[in-house]
Structures are given as structure tokens and as C-alpha cells.
């Protein structure tokens, strides 16, 4: 476990944050509050944010938890995360056939966490032996057919919900299996950082969560959902507090990943 001390860098503190709707309140708080006005913020897909943190291109990042599963790789910090205590809606296994008829599963390239989660559920919960295939951008519009299913994540899932006969919400399936909440992404650092930055980060995100009605209005202009649908998604599907129970769920997830190797 890393110790959090004052970390001095030349230039701006570099922050990477996931660019999906589920992180919109966290992004909003960072960009609209005055807490982190002297920081540089980049919006990234989950895999890119993890790569930036690993390479030092980011000092602190909201990353998929599956990117750093070994103890001591990073320090998980702050009081907020992208977590769930029920269905998440935007991380799903989509298929034309039921679980027992699936043979191959295409894996969304944007999040290692979802890839690891589907492998755990297949092995330990559903007890199925599927072939897993890394996919490329846009696979969801041609590869998911017959007995070929696909794990899809992010905002694109909103437009896919009605296209397939079978839709398995991976967060809901995890909760049924493990009896614990699930954390898809959390804030992490690799190098020691000023604890005051974490305090400011927490305060900024609190501002963003309070602004969900405004965020719903703005995002309704970007994607094909109403303001009420977006507000419900951000308040009912996503749970932002990084609670003790969520940390327990994350630890359980890590232990099951270790059992895969």
C-alpha cells in the first residue's frame, strides 16, 4: 500500500477521468468548481485512463478497477467511485440466444474490468465454458448474432438495449452471485500525492453530484435519452459513494481474479 505524502511535480497536476455518462457528475464537479482550477483534466475511455496513470501521463485517474488488481500497484483514494448496488444498465452481455446456447463471447475493448467480470461470472456463477474473443470498435453492429454474444459497455448500450432478445446486466448478475456491490472505476494514484488534492477532488465531485438535474438537461441534448431517463440512470443505476461495502466487493472481485490465473 502506497503512503500518501506531498507530491511535487513541474507544471499542472494531471487528472484523467472516464468520459462516459456515468462519470458525468464527477467530471462536472471537477470542471465547474474552483477546487481544481489549477489542474489539467483529460477525458478518456477507461483503458486509456489506466494507461496514462501507469505511464505517468496522469498523476491521478478515475480508472477501471480491473486495470490494477495486484496489491500495491496503485493507491485507491477518495470518497467517490463509479459503483452500483443494483442493475447498472450500461455493462451488459447481449445475445440472440440464452446463456446455455452461447458458444463465443466478443469482449468490448474499452474496459478490462468488464472483461474480467464476465469471465468470473461464466466460470463461478453460470458454470459455462465459452470462447472469449477480443473485439474491435464497432463490433456490436455485426458480430453479435446466432450463438455469438457480446459484452458491451458505456453509453452505446443505451442504443442497443432493444436490439437483442437476451440482455444480462453484469452488475446485477454480480450482486446475485457475490451478495456485494460492484465498483467499476475508482480514483487511483501511483505516486505519492498531496492529500489536500484528494480533499479538493472529493469536494469537487460533491458539487457535481448535486448538479445532476443540470447534467441531465445538458446530456439530453447529446444522446437519445430524456432528462428524466438520464436523471434516473445517474441516481438509481450509479452509486457514487465509495463505501465500506463497495470496497469489500472490490476486494472480492480482486480475489476471484487471482483465482483465474
Give the domain CATH number at 65.
3.40.190.10
Per DSSP bridges, beta strands 104-107 and 148-153 are: parallel
- Residue where one domain finishes, among candidates 178, 194, 224: 178
**pLDDT value at residue 212:** 97
Domain coverage including residue 150 = 91-178
Question: Do 132 and 152 belong to one domain?
Answer: yes
The pTM of the full predicted model, rounded to 2 decimals, is 0.90
Last residue of a domain, one of 119, 147, 178: 178
**What three-state secondary structure class fits 80?**
strand
Pair (219, 234) in one structural domain: yes
Q: What total number of domains does the chain contain?
A: 2
DSSP 98-151: -GGG--EEEE-TT-HHHHHHHHHIIIIII---PEEEE--TTGGGTT-BTTEEEE
Does 1 fall in a domain? no
pLDDT in tens, 150-193: 999 988 999 888 889 999 999 999 999 999 999 999 999 999 88
Per cent of the chain over pLDDT 70 is 95
Residue 4 covered by a domain: no
Q: Which residues of the chain have pLDDT under 70?
A: 1-11, 260-261
Residue 229 within any structural domain of the chain: yes
> Do 205 and 235 belong to one domain?
yes
The predicted pLDDT at position 2 comes to 36
Amino acid at each position: 500500500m502506497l503512503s500518501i505524502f506531498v507530491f511535487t511535480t513541474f507544471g499542472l497536476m494531471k487528472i484523467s477521468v472516464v468520459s462516459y455518462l456515468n462519470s458525468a457528475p464527477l467530471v462536472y464537479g471537477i470542471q465547474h468548481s474552483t477546487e481544481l482550477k489549477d489542474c489539467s483534466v483529460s477525458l478518456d475511455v477507461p483503458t486509456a485512463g489506466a494507461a496514462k496513470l501507469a505511464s505517468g501521463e496522469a498523476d491521478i485517474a478515475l480508472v477501471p478497477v480491473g486495470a490494477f488488481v495486484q496489491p500495491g500497484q496503485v493507491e485507491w483514494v477518495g470518497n467517490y467511485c463509479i459503483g452500483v448496488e443494483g442493475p447498472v444498465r450500461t455493462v451488459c452481455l447481449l445475445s440472440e440466444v440464452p446463456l446455455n446456447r452461447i458458444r463465443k463471447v466478443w469482449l468490448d475493448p474499452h474496459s478490462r474490468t468488464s472483461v474480467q467480470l464476465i469471465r468470473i461470472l461464466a466460470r463461478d456463477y453460470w458454470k459455462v465454458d465459452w470462447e472469449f474473443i477480443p473485439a474491435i470498435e464497432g463490433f456490436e453492429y455485426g458480430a453479435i448474432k446466432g450463438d455469438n454474444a457480446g459484452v458491451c459497455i458505456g453509453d452505446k448500450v443505451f442504443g442497443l438495449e432493444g436490439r437483442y432478445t437476451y440482455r444480462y446486466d453484469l452488475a446485477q448478475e454480480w450482486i446475485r452471485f457475490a451478495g456485494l456491490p460492484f465498483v467499476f472505476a475508482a480514483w487511483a494514484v501511483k505516486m505519492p500525492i498531496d492529500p489536500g488534492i484528494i480533499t479538493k477532488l472529493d469536494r469537487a465531485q460533491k458539487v457535481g453530484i448535486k448538479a445532476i438535474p443540470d447534467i441531465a438537461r445538458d446530456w439530453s441534448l447529446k444522446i437519445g435519452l430524456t432528462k428524466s431517463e438520464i436523471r434516473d440512470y445517474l441516481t438509481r443505476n450509479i452509486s457514487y459513494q465509495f463505501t465500506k461495502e463497495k470496497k469489500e466487493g472490490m476486494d472480492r472481485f480482486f480475489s476471484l481474479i487471482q483465482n483465474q490465473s
